Structure 1
């Protein structure tokens, strides 16, 4: 009987440890950030109070509508009462013209405070701190701006019951991307 319990525990521990390894693969590795210095990197610094998954779509054409799932990057976000960097690293040699940031899939998400938006390409950097974020992005109808001057937003359901909070980039961000890649 003890052997059966031992083997059952052993099998369960192998199964659960295998699942954990798969989950880790979806999170951006900080070492990977260092090795991909020539990759286009976008960092959103925000306070996200519930676990969630953010997604960033990118378009390499003048404007692709709708954005394609193949041209997106997912990042798992852990809940925190402190600002954290949500880092999207695009595939090597991909330079976006327009981007879209989806602010999560967790319908129980609380208010999100945006502290900074940053793009890096080689040694060049562009930043939009706090409410300047709204100069470069437009929310859809699933995002309510609670305090524009403090960059606080709330994900909501649209009138038709859809939950898909996201921000589309403006032409002003396209212009900043062009300056970064020159």
Structure 2
């Protein structure tokens, strides 16, 4: 009799423990992340050691200088001793011919290490890692290349006292853009 009582208690305990609420598929709601695959995306992976704001200008015409403020995207960058992705999402259906990346407005920002540059449009992409970045971009006089092999640049004031470190895209980048948008 004692064995029957223990056996019955064990079966009842297992029944209550194994019973769980069945969740219907209607109750499970996936987290929806809004992604727009029509956007041209530029990602600069860099080590930026001081909080700053980076800006990307784009031109849809032939080399359109000066770049227009309304054709730009700003990204706030937090200081980090590790590489971080600085992602510029261009407006829907904008395909640039040329771009310009401004390496910040914070004059306390001195060194920036470029680890990777990537452009993505739909399923196609283009990357230039480390020093290959310099094959596609030209610095202005507010940028000094400290170590080309390791892609370390220093933001400086120009001889005229202006602080506006930036890189202009080369024709080689234009050619790469044409390949990924076709």
If the TM-score is normalised by the length of the shorter chain, which range does it land in? 0.7 to 0.9
Q: Distance in 1 between matches of 2:144 and 2:36?
A: 35
Output the aligned Cα RMSD.
1.4
Q: Distance in 1 between matches of 2:82 and 2:99?
A: 25
Q: 1:5 maps to which residue?
A: none
C-alpha spacing 1:34/1:41, structure 2 compared with 1 (3 Å): farther
Tell me how far 1:35 sits from its aligned partner.
Answer: 1.2
Tell me how far 1:38 sits from its aligned partner.
Answer: 1.4
Contact 1:40 1:94 in 2 (8 A): yes
Q: 2:107 maps to which residue?
A: 107
Contact 1:56 1:100 in 2 (8 A): yes
Q: What is the aligned length?
A: 152
Q: Does residue 1:180 correspond to 2:173, yes or no? A: no
SS state at 1:163 partner: coil
TM-score w.r.t. structure 1 length? 0.81
Tell me how far 1:110 sits from its aligned partner.
Answer: 2.7
TM-score w.r.t. structure 2 length? 0.81
Q: Does residue 1:163 correspond to 2:159, yes or no? A: no
What are the equivalent positions in structure 2 for 1:1-182 lying under 5 Å apart? 35-182=35-182
Larger-gyration structure (1/2): 2
SS state at 2:149 partner: helix
SS state at 2:61 partner: coil
Structure 2 unmatched runs, 5+: 1-30
Q: Which has the higher helix share?
A: 1
Stretches of 4+ aligned residues off by more than 6 angstroms: none
Contact 2:110 2:156 in 1 (8 A): no
C-alpha spacing 1:156/1:175, structure 2 compared with 1 (3 Å): same
